[in-house]
Structure 1
Amino acid sequence: MSAYQPGGSSGYDGKSGDPLSDGSTCLRDAALMQRLGINTIRVYNVNPSANHDLCASIFNAVGIYLIVDVNSPLDGESLSRVDPGGSYTVTYLTRIFSVVEAFKGYPNTLGFFGGNEVINDESNIKTIPPYLRAVTRDLKQYIAKHSPRKIPVGYSAADVRSVLFSTWEYVQCAIDGDANDPTRSDFFGLNSYSWCGSSATFQSSTYADLVSRFSNTSVPVFFSEYGCNTQSPRPFNEVQALYGPNMTGVFSGGLVYEYSQEPSNYGLVDINSDGSVKLRQDYDNLQQQYNKLNITLLTSGNPADAAVNPPSCSASLIDSPNFYSKFDVPKTPDGGQQLIDDGLKNPNQGKLVPVTDTKVTQKVEGSNGNVINNLEIQLLADDQSNTPSGKNTSGEATGTSTAANPKSTKKGAGKRDHVSLWVVFCALFASSLVYCL
């Protein structure tokens, strides 16, 4: 339930490593995330040529799933907002398929974001929408041909209300009413920072409006980023609303932005140049909020019962003026279909490896300055995922949590290589879902 990109986007050069390429760092962060209660991370920029085996295996071993963005901020590795057609090339497809190859072999890879805030204002709503569906189609076709299992593909949208709901309708609808239409998104993420501070409410934050507008969604909708920082430290009282009765029938939880402190000031922890870490008060506050959740209640529903047939694509779904309202999805660029059919030549393909080291070697301090001794990960069975523990990591006090023990087996759980959901939330992948947490 956290965005994970230590160093920020400026730290990614596409040549060296990425957040999932250093096993010692991942072990440290996995231990802190496990104590916090996180069971999914979103990773924005990955180098598909790097070795992610140990990091992916560590996160898998502690019941933490991965949602991976296939794009990057480097030239040629994302759709251009200014010229989507010009950037939609076989070189670009090679990049995003390389990410699929690198992560398809990990059972805790739960999904790929095919785009992030590509539509971010009203200046690019006339050209970009059909390319979002084209990229989704290409990724899903490549996965169908070259992955041992189905991995969902979705889109992460900016919370720009003048175009948000048209974007959602555009990517979730089914062309000609075909529910298996490969161009439609499997899920829809929203980067929302509308709940700010202790005084915010379900109504004043506009969460109520979001619930109302998304109430008939045919795909899982969740916050792909949240955590307004106008108040510091952040109280995170929106967690109770997000996982409460007003929202869980429509929203599927969310991912807190972000794990490490960067210049934008959204971090849960401070990471020092020597690899040591100090927890921020934000970490403690978030942990306290998670500890209040009734995980048993959250996992007791059956999301298959909530499945909704997708609407048939039509211009009538689009309510934003000037938004592209045709569904003539661009053809795959020259050479792209052959790439989809034949697959990449000699791709870097990740696989799980044994996790033998469990103890964190770097110095870690709580927000109170006390060193956290004997920090290590708890290895979980394949039918288990991480949940809040009820502990206060910066101290010895036990919370009043109604959360399940992190080692407890979830009702109806199956092995993680059959779970196609993420974070502490339920969703609508009825065909392959075995539990929702």
Structure 2
Amino acid sequence: MVSSYTRLLTAICALAGSAAAVTPLKVQGKDFVNSKTGDRFQILGVDYQPGGSSGFTKDKDPLSDPDVCLRDAALMQRLGINTIRVYNLEPTLDHNKCASIFNAAGIYMILDVNSPLTNGYLDRTAPWTTYTNAYYQQVFGVIEAFKSFDNVLGFFAGNEVINEDATRLAPAYVRAVVRDMKDYIAKQSSRAIPVGYSAADIRDILMDTLHYFECDLKNSTSSRADFFGLNSYSWCGDASYKSSGYNVLTEDFSNATLPVFFSEYGCNEVKPRVFTEVQALYGEEMTQAFSGGLVYEWTFEDNEYGLVQVNDNGTITTLIDYDNLQKQFSKLDMSRISASNSTQTGVDPETCSSSLINNSTFYNAWNLPDAPSKVSDYIKNGLPNKPSGSLVSVTATTLSQKVYDYTGKELTDIKLKVLANGESNTPSNSSSSSGSGTSSSSSSSGTSTHSNAASALNGAPSIALGGLGGVFMLLASLL
């Protein structure tokens, strides 16, 4: 007979080795909400593409190097980030460790499905030439690689495809990609994962673009976008709500019927960036129209936008922009920001109609192209030779790289804090630099309580182990 102590030790080891998970988010009206608590979720994010477009290849993408992901997740956690956006991904690479690291840190991911490689994108000037079966191996491949991670907030079907250089038919093709992605997710994923579009801030067509993607098309309801991202850099330096035009954007998007957020923000015409727009973006007026935003961008590249700089010797430096953003985040009232609002969640979309489009140059019909020949089979049976992903345990929390602040001082106490089940990262109002989040212990782990893919992968009871206290709770429950 196996002793109770042996069974207890086995149970503790099993739980300690399981992967904790954030709670999946869902779209309700014009809000992202926690699928369990119903709390509103505001994006405090950063765009994440280390090395820029040149840093992406078939053999390397931003979520394929666990050491880099651990370093960056720990620094983002300290900053108060709860979401990253990743632009370019290679579906066939192993993303399990990186996705699990960001998950453990309480950080969600919004993932673009396109890439700059051949068959990886829609050509805005002639989208019908790239809207092919081969293209969908990239699109559906990204979905397959990441659909099992609870911290995937959503997928972007396109980024700034519709601009001055785009053909008039471009909106129809992007909305068709939204349709095909949502149909694939409905058939092949254990949970609904939102799909949206990231738009350029071109004021002449911005509202037309919003209306084109948010309206309800009766014969193709799945083609409606679930959220809308805006790449906007109109607030520069110590601007104001009015001088930046944020007041106009707030008015324009106040009647949106889906979540809208800044998929890129952080003008660098004035340096260093002071990020005073954070107080406006998360203020009472703008949170009625927007669900937060993502700062462009994480690493300092040739365009000089970064929050951190990766040095040639392998060390990393947090720039003054990092500190300035941290100061702004620390001022936010997260209780107010996360409070649910029935007027936000109870909105319904308008029916698609040519009357919604005001600019004569913008496509005002919803004659969406038929999907390429093999796509219906992909949707029904899944992508052939599809990649897969699953949560893994995150045991390493200490960085292998040295970190310095912008003054040259070494930061020695930075490590990843593994948050307890269901927790997402929040800005820390303390002076501690070891991490931030809602967990009270310096390191905690646990198992997912979700009934979706992550819990099936973990298959362990929903008990969070938070140091000795968690162990004693487990002891009490089993003895």
Shared fold (TM-score, shorter chain, > 0.5)? yes
Equivalences for residues 250-269 of structure 1 within 5 A: 250-269=289-308
The equivalent position to 1:306 in structure 2, one of 312, 337, 345, is 345
Alignment correspondent of 2:150: 107
The equivalent position to 1:374 in structure 2, one of 389, 409, 413, is 413
In 2, Cα distance between equivalents of 1:330 and 1:112: 21
Report the TM-score, using the length of structure 1 for normalisation: 0.88
8 Å contact kept, 2:126–2:167: no
Q: SS of the residue aligned with 1:42?
A: strand
The structure having more radius of gyration, on CA atoms, is 2
Alignment correspondent of 2:134: 91
In 2, Cα distance between equivalents of 1:376 and 1:125: 48
Equivalences for residues 223-372 of structure 1 within 5 A: 223-302=262-341, 305-372=344-411
Q: Number of paired residues? A: 403
Q: Kindly tell me: are residues 85 and 418 of structure 1, through their superposed partners in 2, closer, same or farther at Cα, counting changes over 3 Å?
A: farther
State the one-letter code of the partner of 1:146. Q
State the one-letter code of the partner of 1:6. P
How far residue 93 of structure 1 moved from its aligned partner, in angstroms, is: 0.9
In 2, Cα distance between equivalents of 1:208 and 1:392: 33
For 1:279-317, what per-residue CA distance to the aligned partner results, in whole angstroms no more than 9, with x for missing partners?
Answer: 100000000000000111111233675331101000000
Q: Structure 2 stretches of 5 or more lacking a match?
A: 1-44, 442-447, 453-479
Q: SS of the residue aligned with 2:287?
A: coil
In 2, Cα distance between equivalents of 1:272 and 1:391: 28
Residue 439 of structure 2 is aligned to residue 407 of structure 1:
yes
Q: Kindly tell me: are residues 101 and 82 of structure 1, through their superposed partners in 2, closer, same or farther at Cα, counting changes over 3 Å?
A: same
How far residue 391 of structure 1 moved from its aligned partner, in angstroms, is: 4.3
How far residue 43 of structure 1 moved from its aligned partner, in angstroms, is: 0.4
For 1:235-268, what per-residue CA distance to the aligned partner results, in whole angstroms no more than 9, with x for missing partners?
Answer: 0000000000110011110000001000011100
In 2, Cα distance between equivalents of 1:307 and 1:272: 48
8 Å contact kept, 1:236–1:285: yes
In 2, Cα distance between equivalents of 1:305 and 1:153: 19
Alignment correspondent of 1:54: 97
For 1:322-374, what per-residue CA distance to the aligned partner results, in whole angstroms no more than 9, with x for missing partners?
Answer: 21101111111112111211111231101001111111110100122111113
- The root-mean-square deviation of aligned C-alpha atoms, in Å, is 2.1
Alignment correspondent of 1:39: 82
Q: Kindly tell me: are residues 103 and 417 of structure 1, through their superposed partners in 2, closer, same or farther at Cα, counting changes over 3 Å?
A: farther
The equivalent position to 1:64 in structure 2, one of 98, 107, 124, is 107
Alignment correspondent of 2:34: none
Equivalences for residues 84-163 of structure 1 within 5 A: 84-121=127-164, 123-124=165-166, 126-163=168-205
Q: Kindly tell me: are residues 274 and 417 of structure 1, through their superposed partners in 2, closer, same or farther at Cα, counting changes over 3 Å?
A: farther
How far residue 11 of structure 1 moved from its aligned partner, in angstroms, is: 1.7
Equivalences for residues 162-177 of structure 1 within 5 A: 162-176=204-218
Q: Kindly tell me: are residues 345 and 41 of structure 1, through their superposed partners in 2, closer, same or farther at Cα, counting changes over 3 Å?
A: same
In 2, Cα distance between equivalents of 1:293 and 1:187: 24
In 2, Cα distance between equivalents of 1:103 and 1:341: 19
In 1, Cα distance between equivalents of 2:224 and 2:356: 14
Residue 257 of structure 2 is aligned to residue 185 of structure 1:
no
Q: SS of the residue aligned with 2:418?
A: coil
In 2, Cα distance between equivalents of 1:58 and 1:327: 41
Q: SS of the residue aligned with 2:249?
A: helix
How far residue 381 of structure 1 moved from its aligned partner, in angstroms, is: 1.0
Residue 44 of structure 2 is aligned to residue 4 of structure 1:
no
8 Å contact kept, 1:26–1:58: yes
State the one-letter code of the partner of 2:358. D
In 1, Cα distance between equivalents of 2:430 and 2:191: 36
Q: Kindly tell me: are residues 12 and 391 of structure 1, through their superposed partners in 2, closer, same or farther at Cα, counting changes over 3 Å?
A: same
How far residue 385 of structure 1 moved from its aligned partner, in angstroms, is: 0.6
For 1:32-82, what per-residue CA distance to the aligned partner results, in whole angstroms no more than 9, with x for missing partners?
Answer: 000000010000001111101111111100100110000011122111011
Q: Structure 1 stretches of 5 or more lacking a match?
A: 399-403, 410-414, 420-437
State the one-letter code of the partner of 2:152. T
